Structure 1
Amino acid sequence: MITEAWTFLLHVVGLLLHSLTPCTPPEILSMGNIDTKQYLGSWYFIAVAGERDSDVNKFRAVDSTIIVLQEAANANTLLFNGSIRVGNRCIKEVWPYHIRPGRDDLERDGIPERLSPLWSGRLLNCSECIFLQESEQQPPLNRVLFYARSASVSTEMIKEFQMKVSCLGMRNVFVLPQEKEYCQLDEMA
């Protein structure tokens, strides 16, 4: 009985402290002022968080994804080359993002109204992590995609991600299961 009371009291104190601690805003990387070369290479898609179910639903069929970030021939364009595992299929996607003067975020090719800032890995004290936020007014969209240099991140890091984005109003989180072998870019048709 005393143990249950003590556990309850600690839980209430934890909730109170959490409610008094303001959300830590993410550090947005100013695309005009950073060396994008440090972000080139392979990234594993770990999780996605959104305000609404509709913000994350399109990812629920995905088992795993590797993104290779490359510079395009146009120096102001980054290519997100994805190899996506959906069931037993490998799907290849390329998402061009443009770096525009006067904008701190990336502009998705064909969707200039979508705001796409990159967040620093400092959100989780992870130098090997980045986060891509995607937001639009119509249709409503607000989600954050979590990428890491390693396919496996700790359970604690996933929980911290869920807590940080929840504090920002994104309570719908989907963690990719990563149960099947990763697709490689050269395996896809």
Structure 2
Amino acid sequence: MALPWALAVLSLLPLLSAQSPVCDHLEAAPITNTTLQRLSGKWFYIAAVLRNSEYQNESRGIEADFFYMTPNLTEDSLLFRQYLTMGHRCIYNVSSGNIQRQNGTLSQIVQDREHFANLWLTKDPETFMFLFFPEDEQNRGLSFYARKPEVTKEQLREFHEALTCVGLQDDEILYTDGKKDQCGPLEKQQEEERKKENTES
């Protein structure tokens, strides 16, 4: 099962050049070690606008979603541990991906398919976005992530501004609800097991 952000795109964002100043910083940029350190750790999937029907249908079933992203800086690879709540039950997935530093994209490999997303860093280091299919208006998408399951008005405003920049509509937004999360107990159990293993090793 693909993550909501794990949608195929390899190009940068050459379109929409005549934008307002608020859009200027919203372009994929080369990924550095500093970038990857910022992305490392736990993130909550907050919301998205996804025009691709396959990904949109899948995203509609997500009640809550958080994941751990662990970059390998020397091999330019990624490890994802995802905790999805769908149908009032927890689904745990582990997958890998790759870092395309010059393109400003990250990828995830799901069921032998590699999906790509442009990384958009926000002004707030506690949030970021992924852009999919920037050159394809029919399939374009933007997803929003944060360090906490609930975001501030200011954080959400930046997501809304970004939607406008890429020609997506507020009324298309699919939101998750952290209060519906069913994966907390599993996460806690796994974290305790990891601590125990680290202590014994």
Tell me if both proteins adopt one fold, taking TM over 0.5 as the criterion: yes
Alpha-carbon shift at residue 100 of structure 1 (Å): 3.8
Residue 75, structure 1, aligned to residue 78, structure 2: no
Q: In structure 2, do the counterparts of structure 1 residues 167 and 134 end up closer, same or farther at CA, with 3 Å as the change threshold? A: closer
- Measure the CA separation in 1 of the matches of 2:95 and 2:113: 11
Q: In structure 2, do the counterparts of structure 1 residues 111 and 31 end up closer, same or farther at CA, with 3 Å as the change threshold? A: farther
Unaligned runs of 5+ in 2: 1-18, 191-201
Matched residue, 2:59: 59
- Measure the CA separation in 1 of the matches of 2:179 and 2:33: 38
Alpha-carbon shift at residue 142 of structure 1 (Å): 2.2
Matched residue, 1:148: 146
Native 8 Å contact 1:117 1:134 kept in 2: yes
Alpha-carbon shift at residue 52 of structure 1 (Å): 5.4
Matched residue, 2:5: none
- 1:103-182 correspondence runs (5 A): 103-109=103-109, 110-112=112-114, 114-122=115-123, 126-135=124-133, 141-171=139-169, 172-182=172-182
Residue 122 of structure 2 aligns to which amino acid in structure 1?
G
Native 8 Å contact 1:56 1:173 kept in 2: no
Q: In structure 2, do the counterparts of structure 1 residues 105 and 177 end up closer, same or farther at CA, with 3 Å as the change threshold? A: same
- Measure the CA separation in 2 of the matches of 1:73 and 1:163: 31
What is the TM-score with the length of structure 2 in the denominator? 0.66
Q: In structure 2, do the counterparts of structure 1 residues 27 and 86 end up closer, same or farther at CA, with 3 Å as the change threshold? A: same
- Measure the CA separation in 2 of the matches of 1:46 and 1:129: 10
SS of structure 1 residue aligned to 2:66: strand
Alpha-carbon shift at residue 159 of structure 1 (Å): 4.4
SS of structure 1 residue aligned to 2:96: strand
Q: How many residues align?
A: 164
Unaligned runs of 5+ in 1: 1-19
Matched residue, 1:24: 23
